Amino acid sequence: MKRIFPLIVVLISLSVIGILFIQMSWINNAIKLKHDEFVKGVDNTLSKTRDVLQDRFIQKKYVGYMSADSRQYELKNNFTVMGVFTNQEIRDIIEQRLKEHNIKYKYEFCVTNIFNNIVFQSPGFQVTDIHNSYHILLSPADSYHSKESLFLFIREDKNQVLRDMAWMIVASIVFTTIIILAFSLTVRTLFNQKKLSEIKSDFINNMTHELKTPLATISLAIDALTNEKVIHDVDKIKLYSSMIKEENKRMNKQVEKILQAARLEKEEIKLNLQKLNAHQIITKVTENLSLQIQEKNGVLRLLLNAPMFSIEADEVHFANIIFNLLDNAMKYSNSAPYIEVETLNGPNNLLSIRIKDNGIGMDKETQGRIFEKFYRAHTGNLHNVKGFGLGLSYVKAIVEAHEGKIKVESAPGKGSTFTVSFPLSER
């Protein structure tokens, strides 16, 4: 999968570029073909006009049968359009032939004599047009006296050519755009699927690991309880039972976290709002964590300075938020954690709770993603930090359900500060 994916992207990109290239050369060829067709049409028009003029010349000048040789002789020596054809007659002959070749552009013409002087011209013909005209010798090539040439000036309208092909060009642009759009959509979906499957397998690995450890400890403790030496020792039984209880609690906590996330997924956040003393709950949560902090030789300082600390909130969810933020502050730290919990009243009747740690911190990119479900940053040399990447997405969802706000300030190696704000109770 890892190698196939880039290969597919490269192959499809190459095909799209190839198709674009082929289409462009098709359109180019079509324009060239149209031009060739036009030039051929003009050439045919000229040669047919010459033939008709010669025929009519003979008909006008001589009556009765004439052999091919004498016809050729007469043409060679006497052919001329001057005094024989009117402007309109020549125009009609040319027009008829152009129509046969489906050439609809405006045209002008002139006839020159053996000295290249114009002897005959249509009213709109300009002398300078002669250089850009298609021409043909009207008299036979071996005539001596009356060598006359017909010059036909037609400006090929390139825009008309493009207009004729407009549907082809527009259709190819539309289809190519659709292909490119569909392709980028497919690549994006593939990327998302890939990310999702990685996240999923990470999550399953995490979960199994998190549940396996307490299960193994419980199993060992139960083995120990059934041991002959232990079964009569009340102290040991108490010790192993409390171990089982502790591990059980840990497992419960993990399962609860997953359930919290599942509930968020279904958008089932039901808040049991009531007037709460935020300071009291914060103190209670920190007391519950004090043992863990002591174990890590850490310090937790409470700076509950906000004069107004009554908020309208769900007690369980609010306690979970504080717990999750403090839990992270302890987890993501290389040394003994130093954590400060400060409350203050900001503008707009808010109670802000700032949880500041001296941990590993995060770069800007990580900060932008930590509230995504399942996102976990690579914690560098900090190994063995357990988690599902669900805590902060839960915190954010609950804070927002309370119409509150959450923000993070952090820098790698400089610790992090999370600030959550709740509207104050108006009661």
Interface residues with ligand ADP (CB under 6 A)?
Answer: 328-329, 332, 357, 359-362, 370, 375-377, 379, 387-393, 416
Q: Tell me how far, at minimum, the Cβ of 302 lies from ligand ADP, in Å.
A: 17
Calculate helix-pair angle for 278-295, 315-331, nearest 10 degrees: 30
Q: Which is nearer to ligand ADP, 235 or 295 (CB)?
A: 295
Contact 293, 299 (CB under 8 A): yes
CA–chain centroid gap for 243, Å, is 53
Q: Which is nearer to ligand ADP, 131 or 383 (CB)?
A: 383
Q: Tell me how far, at minimum, the Cβ of 264 lies from ligand ADP, in Å.
A: 12
Q: Which is nearer to ligand ADP, 97 or 376 (CB)?
A: 376
Q: Which is nearer to ligand ADP, 143 or 393 (CB)?
A: 393
What is the C-alpha to C-alpha distance for residues 42 and 152, in angstroms, rounded to an integer? 8
**Amino acid present at 21:** F
Please list the residues that pair with 134 across neighbouring strands: 152
Q: Tell me how far, at minimum, the Cβ of 315 lies from ligand ADP, in Å.
A: 21
Q: Tell me how far, at minimum, the Cβ of 385 lies from ligand ADP, in Å.
A: 7
Q: Which is nearer to ligand ADP, 258 or 304 (CB)?
A: 258
Q: Which is nearer to ligand ADP, 153 or 323 (CB)?
A: 323
Q: 108 — phi, psi (to 5°)? A: -135, 160
Q: Tell me how far, at minimum, the Cβ of 339 lies from ligand ADP, in Å.
A: 9
Q: Which is nearer to ligand ADP, 20 or 382 (CB)?
A: 382
Residues recorded for the chain: 427
What is the C-alpha to C-alpha distance for residues 111 and 409, in angstroms, rounded to an integer? 88
Handedness of CA 306, 310, 311, 317 (dihedral sign): positive
Q: Tell me how far, at minimum, the Cβ of 379 lies from ligand ADP, in Å.
A: 6
Q: Tell me how far, at minimum, the Cβ of 330 lies from ligand ADP, in Å.
A: 9
Q: Which is nearer to ligand ADP, 152 or 326 (CB)?
A: 326
Outline where 296-379 has alpha helix (H).
315-331, 364-369
Dihedral class, residue 162 (left if φ above 0, else alpha if ψ from -120 to 50, else beta):
alpha
Q: Which is nearer to ligand ADP, 45 or 333 (CB)?
A: 333
What is the C-alpha to C-alpha distance for residues 420 and 406, in angstroms, rounded to an integer? 4
What is the C-alpha to C-alpha distance for residues 423 and 410, in angstroms, rounded to an integer? 24
Q: Give the residue at shortest CB distance from ligand ADP.
A: 387
CA nearest neighbour of 339 among 393, 296, 279: 296
What is the C-alpha to C-alpha distance for residues 361 and 383, in angstroms, rounded to an integer? 15
Q: Tell me how far, at minimum, the Cβ of 268 lies from ligand ADP, in Å.
A: 19
Quote the radius of gyration of the chain (alpha carbons, Å). Answer: 46
Q: Tell me how far, at minimum, the Cβ of 290 lies from ligand ADP, in Å.
A: 18
What is the C-alpha to C-alpha distance for residues 155 and 161, in angstroms, rounded to an integer? 12
- The pair of structure tokens assigned to 89 is 């007659």
